[in-house]
Structure 1
Amino acid sequence: MLEVDKSTFETEVLGAEGKVFVDFFGDGCEPCKALMPFVHELADKYGDKIKFCSLNTTKARRLAIGQKVLGLPVMAIYENGAKVEELIKEDCTEEAIEALVQKHI
């Protein structure tokens, strides 16, 4: 799982070829913290098929707003630099996140 920041997001996510899963999380987001170990397991399980990244929105607020991430947690799939699907807030269940990944691999 690659942790990106405002200086690497464009290269690693928007400039990437193929599909990229991005976990948008924040320091004070308890649901984000609860989901993080599961998301890391998915990265280990599917990392050979899809690129996994995480972005701490606490340190990159403008970038998050620019990506229309206004609440947390958000799990998004990017394809060739464009966001193609996302799960927001209470839709971010372990089952839904794994289904999202499986749909895009």
Structure 2
Amino acid sequence: MGAHTKDTSDATFEADVLKSDKPVLVDFWAPWCGPCKMIAPIIDEIAEANADKLTVVKLNTDDNPATSAKYGITGIPTLNVYQNGEVVKSIVGVMPKPKLVKELEPFIG
């Protein structure tokens, strides 16, 4: 986990994500997932560069099956952006940083 991301869980998801006053990027991942490890440093860089506009949290799908099931997470990494408690963007799989930044532009400007 990077310095600019924090872990969330089934227990804290509502407070960390759904009740946030700014957009939240949730990285659904698992320790055994190779692509998740590949994208982690990119997510941390985006979190650092946009800390004032975007909250970034990570959810371990193995440890938090309820939230993963609720949002229909079947493939990881999945990056969901939540705004006002709703999923407003879903990105599945690994992509290069420039493409990911472009995908997130509506939230980070």
2:37 corresponds to which letter in structure 1?
K
**Separation of aligned partners in 2, 1:67 and 1:83:** 9
1:102 corresponds to which letter in structure 2?
E
1:93 corresponds to which letter in structure 2?
M
Q: Give the gaps of 5 or more residues in structure 2.
A: none
RMSD, matched Cα: 1.2
TM-score (norm. length: structure 2): 0.87
Residue matched to 1:53: 57
Q: Give the gaps of 5 or more residues in structure 1.
A: none
1:7-46 correspondence runs (5 A)? 7-46=11-50
Aligned residue among 56, 68, 77 for 2:72: 68
**Separation of aligned partners in 2, 1:76 and 1:96:** 15
TM-score (norm. length: structure 1): 0.90
Identity %: 27
